[in-house]
A and B are shown apart, each in its own frame.
Chain A
Amino acid sequence: MGLLPLSEPVLLVLLSLAEQPRHGYAILKDVAEMSGGRVVLSTGTLYGALQRLLRQGWIERFEEDESSRDRRAYRLTSKGRRNLQLEIDRMRHLTKLASLRAARKEA
């Protein structure tokens, strides 16, 4: 649980892997696409985040049959998926609360 609450880049990396396993470069492109070009990760930032997620057991690395050591793919573990869901629930609660409070202020 050491990574919660998640920073935006880490959340986007997890969301990218939630859909399907991806290679490093595919994650970079997907994160940029998801954020509309607002979050563009450098390779240094991406692999820093991947290493932390690997160490916490939120994601795992695997080698596809034809892929070399250069093209290892990453996927979410059940622990990672569970924690991602927790974070989504937290954010949902927060936005709901924010909407309620903002509406009350206007009224």
Chain B
Amino acid sequence: MLRLYRGLLYLYPAAHRREFAQEMAFVFGQAERDAAARKFGPRLLFRIHEVAGLLCGAFLEHLRHAFDGSDCNLFRRIDMHPQFRFPRSTVFLMIFVLLGVVLAIDKADIMARNGVGLSLWGALWSMFLFLAFVCATVGVIWGVLYATGRSGMHRLANVQTWPERH
């Protein structure tokens, strides 16, 4: 896992990596040693938490670089409009994506330990299967939404773009 963590650190901008990557990997190693004594569930949660934190941190660092190193509002508390609500499906989608990432990391970890290399055709085939699965899932979800009249098309059709005449 530590090797994979080091790999994921390459998602950070080079400047941040030079300054913190070695230290972050060291701290992660210590935290992982502590987590190793726990049961499977908490250990999995620890890994998910770490991967999510790292991806989020890398994303924010790239944004900071994009904003020319200035502290834009993204790095402070964000006050959202109280009317704004994420659709409930966002939570499931995020959990689904995160589980996929963690499983892929675990699989790659096992393969790295066993010294198994992945062939080009194998990688392409896996990618194709994954894309086919994603397309099928999206198709099914859209079909259900369309059938129940809650698709984007239906919602757009109900949007009132001009004031009603009385």
Contact = CB atoms under 8 A, between A and B. Distances in A.
Interface of A: 2-3, 5, 7, 23-25, 28, 40-48, 50-52, 55-56, 69-72
Contacts of B71: 2-3, 52, 55-56
B6 to A, nearest CB: 12
B20 A51 contact: yes
B22 A69 contact: yes
A51 B21 CA distance: 12
Given A43-B24, A52-B71, A7 B77 contact: yes
Contact of B60 (A2, A5, A46, A48): A48
Interface residues of B, number: 26
A2 B72 CA distance: 9
B87 to A, nearest CB: 25
B67 to A, nearest CB: 13
Interface of B: 16, 19-20, 22-24, 26-28, 30-31, 49-50, 52-58, 60-61, 71, 75-77
Given A45-B53, A45-B56, A3 B22 contact: no
B77 A43 contact: no
Q: Is chain B's interface secondary structure helix, strand, loop, or mixed overall?
A: helix
A44 B46 CA distance: 13
Contact of B52 (A24, A42, A56, A70): A42
Contacts of A25: 26-27, 30-31
A43 B21 CA distance: 10
A43 B75 contact: no
Given A3-B76, A51-B16, A52-B71, A70 B26 contact: yes
Given A43-B24, A43-B53, A52 B75 contact: yes
Q: Which 3 A-B pairs have the closest CB atoms?
A: A42-B53, A44-B57, A44-B53
A47 to B, nearest CB: 5
A50 to B, nearest CB: 8
A56 to B, nearest CB: 8
